[in-house]
Amino acid sequence: MQTHLKGRDMITTQEWTLDEIETIMEVAYDLKRKRAVGEPHAYLRDKTLAMLFFFTSTRTRGSFEAGMAQLGGHAAFIDSDTTQISHGDTAKEIGEIFGRYFDGIAIRQCDWDFGNQYIREVAAASRVPVLNMQCDVYHPFQILADLMTIKEYFGRESLRGKTINVSWAYAASYQKPISVPQSLILLMNRFGMNVRLTHPPEYKLMPEILEQAADNAKRSGGSFEILHDFDEGFKGADIVYPKSWGALLTTSDKDESAKIGKKYTDWITDERRMAMAKDHAIYMHCLPADRNIEVTDGVIDGPQSIVYQEAENRLHVQKAVMALTM
């Protein structure tokens, strides 16, 4: 277990070692147990967290606010529209000033080709840890929660040899960020898993992320493959994680993106597709899902779905990282 993490930023799990990630898991399990039995754990008493949102949120805001309260501290919700950012406050100024007011800064900024850059500029100027609540490139806390959930289901000791299918799925809603699939293929590959990335040709991910994922697989003894057949991705999988993301590397035009998406309306996770996976296979989704467009009610509400356990674990991994870094 690592004990040197005070002051560390969490912008991507790629910048944390496996030992450090396992430390997060250990602390998260302990905090989950304490929460279950009602054992107080006010490790951040009198600490404050600035939560700066440029995008709306349900699970992220709720879990960070609840987590800080349970750790004995306070989280300040800050909508970017209510600040002077639009009138001149720079990323450097946010880092310098909020770093003096607060003990940590959490940011959700998903603007394409800008969000990660903004978070890193704040972090460079901040004297306190900066936590990425999601950007255009990464969604580290969602993926840490996914890892915790998978470990709880399949066993904490080793995930080596398990197959996860990270797949695109059709959705009628807005062009969603690519940060979840990118973060998934990066982290799961580090645990010796067989990672499949399944998507239509237009819905590719960033080349540098694909290179890092392939390198992670080589180092861990796992595998990484890219498929373009929706059904093929499900076959023999232990974990299926189909979700929508935008064709951002193909086009930034929303109308053109919608036209492309219409070609793949049959990429929906239904009972027939789930039957192609292993009998014990689990269905995961970061939520919200477009019901009966992205996934059927029968699957997301069915016995193989663990989406609510997955959502709960956001709380525990976030508390773990805050306790370790703040």
Q: What digits encode the pLDDT tens for the residues 12-66? A: 999 999 999 999 999 999 999 999 999 999 999 999 999 999 998 999 999 999 9
What pLDDT was estimated at residue 130?
98
pLDDT tens digits for range 100-152:
999 999 999 999 999 999 999 999 999 999 999 999 999 999 999 999 999 99
CA 130, distance to chain mean position in Å, is 16
Domain ranges of the chain: 13-139+314-325, 142-310
d(CA 315, CA 59): 9
Identify the CATH assignment for 142-310 out of 3.40.50.1370, 3.30.70.100, 3.30.2320.50, 2.60.40.10: 3.40.50.1370
Tokens of 94: 């946010």
Instruction: Examine the pLDDT at 202 and tell me if it is beyond 80.
Output: yes
Tabulate helix, strand, coil % of the chain (nearest 5).
Answer: 45, 15, 40
Question: Token digits for 297?
Answer: 């009610």
Q: What is the pLDDT of residue 172?
A: 85
pLDDT of residue 323: 98
- Each residue's pLDDT tens digit, 256-309: 999 999 999 999 999 999 999 999 999 999 999 999 999 999 999 999 999 999
Angle (deg, nearest 10), helices 140-154 and 18-37:
70
Out of 3.40.50.1370, 1.10.1060.10, 3.30.479.10, 3.40.50.10800, select the CATH number for domain 13-139+314-325. Answer: 3.40.50.1370
Which residues, in sequence order, are bridge partners of residue 224? 195
Residue 157 pLDDT: 80
Q: For position 129, what pLDDT does the model report?
A: 98
Question: Comparing C-alpha atoms, which of 32, 8, 36 is closest to residue 21?
Answer: 8
